[in-house]
Structure 1
Amino acid sequence: MRRLAFTALLGPAMSTAASHAADWPTFMGDAARSGANAGTGKAPGGFQLAWEYDLHAAVAASPVAAGGLLFVAAEDGNLHAIDIASRQLRWLFHADAGIASTPAVADGLIYFLSRDGQLHALDAASGAPRWSFRTGGEARFAAHGMFGLPRDGHKRADPWDFYLSSPLVADGKVVFGSSDEHVYALDAKTGAMVWSYKSGGMVHAAPARADSRVIVGAWDSALYALDLATGALAWRHQTGADHKDSIMLGIQAAASVDGDMVYAGSRDGFLYALDAATGQLRWRHDAKGSWVPGTAAINASQVFVPTSDAGLLTVLDKRSGRKLYDFPTQVWTFASPILVGDSLVVATMDGQVHQLDAASGKPLWRFMSPERLANARGILDAEGKFDNQRLYGTRPDEMVSALEHVKRLGAFIASPAWVQGHLITVDALGRVRAFRPMAKS
């Protein structure tokens, strides 16, 4: 495979031998996928744009950071390593296919999965390749008769299946899922396979760690708990699956783990709270027919749940599942929310970033992309909701082109990150933005 790593002589050499307090080295900040690495202390009084960096490429993967470098992967196959201090490109690695897997950084290496089925391990400081592992192939989820379209013998790919599995690095292993329906655990230093587990569907969710187990969902709508050391199945929990229209099925988001609880959203329209040890249902929240496509953030008492068609961020009591409040995003939210101090930050598909008081849901700050402000194609109505007539016209089956119009609003598919006291976002058009906190007035 062609590998290009360009190293610029910019700034001091990166050290990844030890973890850095300001790092955000993996999807949702930690192995539990809690989104809470920055969730202590008081919230900033909003944010101010500090700098921008344009990748000039589509982006679905979320940014990560370690040792002074910000890593952003794009669908043109480029992984960018940006020196945060100088805001300059340190190195660029080019894979032979798009990258929709959020990278993970650990012990001096960075790992990610590309759409040609390669799990790459690079030196995080220089971008030099260390090893690669080939899966059985990566693809979008597809089904017959999807979204009620004719069953004409052709499977149709799901345009909302944005992501590939993001690696989990734990106990010397790299664990990730594949479209070939397997979960793999590789030796983190050599890439040698330690174990694999055959699930019942494509695995595009990021694995989460729960003590000695890995929790991961699949497109068969099941959640699996696997032994981290051996890959043995500890338990399996089946969520709902609509096989008639292939709409309300599949788990595409990572589960989040909090002590003895696992929280997992499903496209069957529910968020599930399961016992981490047994997989038994503690409670579930009904999203009223809306997908739960993002990973829930968790603080000491609350679970923050993004939804799609409902146009809501729902906040629940994490022990009982009782609804505390809804925040109307008005549009689909696929990006996962994160906690910054005692506030929540959520980025949405209409090019907005919201900061809320986590306890009450009171809006604290908002960013709107220039394209969202302009709304040149008129696909947002006066209430800020998608105008389906303008979006789809007379062809409701034209979901791919409709989704491209949405992306041109500066939509957020990638989740935010908290790096060196800055909020980092990357929109679907490939624009990286760093926001510095403002003091409360």
Structure 2
Amino acid sequence: MAPDPLYVATVAESVRSSLRTTDDPDEVRRYLYELRDTMYESEFDGRVYTDLLDGLESHLDRLEQEALGSIGETRRERIIDEVHRIERFCQRQQDNGDSQPSDDGDVTKMGNNITINIGNAGSDDGCLTDTTGGSGDLDPADAWDDDNQWNADKLSANTSGEDAFSDSSDRDDPAGSGVNITPKTWHETAAWDLKLPFGTTASVLRNGSDWPAYRRDLRRQGADSDVGTFGAPTLDWKTYLGGSPLGEPAVLGERLVVPTKEEGLLFLSRSNGDQRAQFNPGTTCYTSPVVHDGTVYCGFDDGLYAMDRWGDQTWKHSTNNWVRTVPLAFDGVILFGDSDGTFYALDADTGRLQGSFNCDDTGFEVSPAIHDGTVVAGTAFTALGIDYETGTVDWTTDITADQNSSYSKAPAVIDGTVYYPGKDAVCALNPNTGVVQWQADISDYGRIVSAVAGTDASLYVCTHDMDMGGYLHTIRKSGTVERTDKLEGGTPTSPVATDWGVIVGSLEGPLERYEGGESLFPEWTLGPSDDWTRAAPVVDDGTLYASFSRSLYAFS
């Protein structure tokens, strides 16, 4: 007799618990083989089951092929996440009988009934069920548009609230940095109601295999925690993308989500680069995706989209203008700003608007960060400190960034300080007050075109000048510019920054590596001689992924 879903879920739960107590590869393989064999004996079928089984087999293949000592924390968390997905799938199969659930059961349409998972609201099982045409303040049926797609804009939202500031007086700049700190009046400031999760901001954001922010986490390093010394590179595979990759890839389990300008998002196998899925809404993508609890979120010219691992759209939230900043996924909430100057907080599961405000400034150009309850974001001329729980703007600091920029700028948050990229200076901000502690002026080398990346020792940022080319700057956390290195190509990417060194690419140039503050060019370079770097490289689980022209390369 085939095992029922509840039995398989019990095996998965036992395996998940056991994996948390060991990093021995032989024991991990034994546990995974036990779960795999149980799944084979079951009578599950369908796309969800097949994909989950493929993910499990992929982990086993990599464990068999690689000569491992102990398994790194990131690899183990990724395996645990995959097992947890199997456990949840089996539990849903048990609960739903013969029905075929979606990947995470967040939004499903069944005949004339809509079921929306909204946490603990509505009923004991955390689902609010309504019928088409039903009464009440929230009618989920209204959220389905003519194309049978979930559109969160059709749900009502509370955007009432008081202006964040009524006092327009200036505050002093105690650092003497020349950066004005001026409160402004913001319109339509939302009084949203969120709860800050237990634990530090950094621990919540660094959740297993999630990729919840631009450059993976708030240090903006572009690398996972298990990265080691990157020696002589070996090309594992190369895949032609068909479109221009203007944003960096994000890791989704055993897949890479690669953004392209013309082809939308491509879902590739991390093991060989084969395309497994595609999401293309027909509009342009200039930014990078993030991953939160198995769902992908990415901005396009007409709004923010959420999709599952097969590229199927979960929901869309239309915006007033294009989204070129990278969203921040934090504890079930998606935070981002658009080019019209509107900042949004959306429910990650449903896309429902928790609140928004529009500032009398230009559009948002700097991707958001968060530290202990304060969200830091930026327009072309202003850095903002937003209360995470209420949505009110607590402070603003006048820092010029860039208007209508095509570069992905983002601040780093390290040890309680926000390192914010201006137009031609890096500013150290107090996240609670917005006061500038120091600024590192690098205006002699053009304008900043990257995120600020940080390690325990230093900060790294790139600039570009039309006549002089691209530069990599190393800045101490005291604000002193330690060194400036000329890059071989043109406009640089955001750097991969780790304790062992830095890797950075540039338009019409190769990937270059710096170690101990010294360039290893030309002994260590990556990239074909007839191609150019298009987007920032990333390192995950010992593999470096980099795009050149319209192709993606994997080096180990």
1:97 to 2:283 alignment? yes
Aligned-partner residue type, residue 358 of structure 2 = K
Distance 1:24 1:257 in 2: 16
Q: 1:35 to 1:241 in 2, by over 3 A?
A: closer
1:410 to 2:532 alignment? yes
2:455 paired residue number: 299
Distance 1:263 1:300 in 2: 13
Aligned-partner residue type, residue 214 of structure 2 = F
Q: How does 1:311-322 map to 2 (within 5 A)?
A: 311-318=470-477, 320-322=478-480
Aligned equivalent of 1:234, options 385, 388, 394: 394
Structure 1 residue runs without a partner (length 5+) = 1-5, 140-163, 372-408, 437-441
Larger radius of gyration: 2
1:62 paired residue number: 248
Aligned-partner residue type, residue 393 of structure 2 = L
Aligned-partner residue type, residue 426 of structure 1 = S
Aligned equivalent of 2:552, options 420, 423, 432: 432
More displaced, 88-97 or 18-27?
18-27
Alpha-carbon shift at residue 104 of structure 1 (Å): 0.8
Alpha-carbon shift at residue 266 of structure 1 (Å): 2.0
SS in structure 1 opposite 2:215? helix
2:343 paired residue number: 183
Aligned equivalent of 2:416, options 257, 260, 282: 260
| Deviation sequence 1:33-59 (CA, Å, 0-9, x none) | 421644667522232222111111112
2:500 paired residue number: 342
Distance 1:36 1:68 in 2: 17
Distance 1:431 1:251 in 2: 20
| Deviation sequence 1:58-106 (CA, Å, 0-9, x none) | 1211111121110001111421111112431111111121111211111
| Deviation sequence 1:96-153 (CA, Å, 0-9, x none) | 21111211111121111111x12111112x22211110001228xxxxxxxxxxxxxx
Does the aligned pair in 1 maintain the 2:219–2:414 contact within 8 Å?
A: no
Alpha-carbon shift at residue 339 of structure 1 (Å): 2.2
1:134 to 2:346 alignment? no
Aligned-partner residue type, residue 217 of structure 1 = G
Q: 1:26 to 1:47 in 2, by over 3 A?
A: farther
Does the aligned pair in 2 maintain the 1:356–1:365 contact within 8 Å?
A: no
| Deviation sequence 1:223-280 (CA, Å, 0-9, x none) | 11212222211221112489xxx89x9996111111221112222x211111222111
Aligned-partner residue type, residue 418 of structure 2 = V
Q: 1:362 to 1:52 in 2, by over 3 A?
A: closer
1:28 paired residue number: 215
1:356 paired residue number: 514
| Deviation sequence 1:375-414 (CA, Å, 0-9, x none) | xxxxxxxxxxxxxxxxxxxxxxxxxxxxxxxxxx5233x2
1:329 paired residue number: 487
Q: 1:26 to 1:66 in 2, by over 3 A?
A: farther
Does the aligned pair in 2 maintain the 1:41–1:341 contact within 8 Å?
A: no
Does the aligned pair in 1 maintain the 2:242–2:263 contact within 8 Å?
A: no
Q: 1:361 to 1:24 in 2, by over 3 A?
A: farther
Does the aligned pair in 1 maintain the 2:506–2:532 contact within 8 Å?
A: no
SS in structure 2 opposite 1:204? strand
SS in structure 2 opposite 1:12? helix
Q: 1:336 to 1:251 in 2, by over 3 A?
A: closer
Aligned-partner residue type, residue 550 of structure 2 = G
Taking structure 1 as the reference length, what is the TM-score of the superposition? Answer: 0.74
Distance 1:334 1:176 in 2: 24
Structure 2 residue runs without a partner (length 5+) = 1-46, 57-80, 86-205
Alpha-carbon shift at residue 196 of structure 1 (Å): 1.0
SS in structure 2 opposite 1:35? coil
Distance 2:528 2:511 in 1: 9
Aligned length: 358
SS in structure 2 opposite 1:29? coil
1:49 paired residue number: 235
Distance 1:236 1:250 in 2: 23
Does the aligned pair in 2 maintain the 1:256–1:297 contact within 8 Å?
A: yes
| Deviation sequence 1:193-240 (CA, Å, 0-9, x none) | 111122311113321122212211212x21112122222112211124
1:172 paired residue number: 332
1:393 paired residue number: none
1:118 to 2:303 alignment? yes
Q: 1:176 to 1:214 in 2, by over 3 A?
A: same
Does the aligned pair in 1 maintain the 2:334–2:347 contact within 8 Å?
A: yes
Q: How does 1:145-294 map to 2 (within 5 A)?
A: 164-199=324-359, 200-219=361-380, 221-240=381-400, 253-267=409-423, 269-289=424-444, 290-294=446-450
Distance 1:82 1:251 in 2: 24
1:370 paired residue number: 529
User: Which structure dedicates a bigger proportion of its chain to strand?
Assistant: 1
Alpha-carbon shift at residue 425 of structure 1 (Å): 0.9
Distance 2:536 2:389 in 1: 29
Distance 1:345 1:12 in 2: 32
Taking structure 2 as the reference length, what is the TM-score of the superposition? Answer: 0.59
User: Which structure dedicates a bigger proportion of its chain to helix?
Assistant: 2
Q: CA RMSD in A?
A: 2.9
Does the aligned pair in 1 maintain the 2:236–2:272 contact within 8 Å?
A: no
Distance 2:262 2:471 in 1: 31
